[in-house]
């Protein structure tokens, strides 16, 4: 879902426990929040020495704890913005968190030899320690371009 991204880590947070015995409506409510985040990674192709990507994630969960949804990535380089849209599919497990795969649906053509990468993300839900009643979705992605990144989303 990213072009090899890395998000700065926040303080270690206690994982949100939503066990399999949790009410399905409670699990669905948290997972179905509108997630957004910003990721950055060192790069050699920008004057700042890093690439910054804005990301959104919208998921639904069914009675079998399967995930479906859409993700978007927005990439700005030299004043030009590029957007990519990805389909998302995966699974939620009360112990292991969320595991989902992103597949490119449509995207703006990137300049030079840059290209969009889907991937598989493993993420854990955390309570946002700075905003009562809000959550953080944090984990790592192994992308289809051979890279690994950390990801972090928050709900608005």
Mapped onto helix, strand or coil, the DSSP state of residue 24 is helix
- The HSE-up count of residue 18 (CA atoms within 13 Å, CB side) is 21
Please tell me the predicted confidence (pLDDT) of residue 41.
67
What is the rounded distance in angstroms from the CA atom of residue 31 to the CA atom of residue 64? Answer: 14
**Strongest mean pLDDT among 9-13, 105-109, 150-154:** 105-109
Report the candidate in 21, 41, 20, 15 with the shortest Cα–Cα distance to residue 139: 15
Distance CA 95, CA 20 (A): 8
Q: Is the pLDDT of residue 146 over 60?
A: yes
**What confidence tens digit (pLDDT) does each residue in 42-96 have?**
677 778 877 778 999 999 999 889 999 999 999 888 889 999 999 999 999 877 7
pLDDT band for 10, please (50, 70, 90 cuts): very low
The upper half-sphere exposure of residue 117, i.e. CA atoms within 13 Å in the direction of its Cβ, equals 19
Helix (H, G, I), strand (E, B) or coil at 30: helix
- Full-model pTM: 0.81
Domains of the chain: 24-154 (2.40.128)
Locus of tokens 């050699």: 44
User: What is the Cα–Cα distance from 143 to 39, expressed in whole angstroms?
Assistant: 14
Question: Residue 40's closest CA among 32, 27, 50?
Answer: 50
Share of the chain above pLDDT 70, in %: 83
């Amino acid at each position: 879902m990213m072009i090899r991204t890395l998000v700065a880590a926040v303080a270690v947070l206690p994982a949100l426990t939503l066990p399999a015995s949790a009410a399905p409506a409670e699990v669905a409510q948290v997972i179905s929040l509108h997630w957004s985040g910003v990721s950055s990674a060192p790069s050699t192709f920008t004057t700042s020495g890093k690439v910054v990507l804005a990301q959104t994630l919208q998921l639904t969960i069914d009675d079998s704890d399967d995930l479906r949804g859409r993700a978007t990535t927005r990439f700005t380089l030299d004043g030009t913005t590029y957007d990519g849209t990805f389909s998302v599919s995966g699974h939620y497990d009360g112990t292991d968190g969320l595991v989902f795969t992103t597949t490119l649906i449509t995207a703006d053509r990137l300049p030079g030899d840059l290209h969009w990468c889907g991937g598989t993300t493993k993420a854990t839900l955390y309570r946002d320690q700075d905003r009562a009643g809000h959550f953080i979705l944090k984990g790592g992605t192994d992308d289809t371009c051979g890279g690994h990144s950390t990801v972090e989303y928050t709900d608005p």
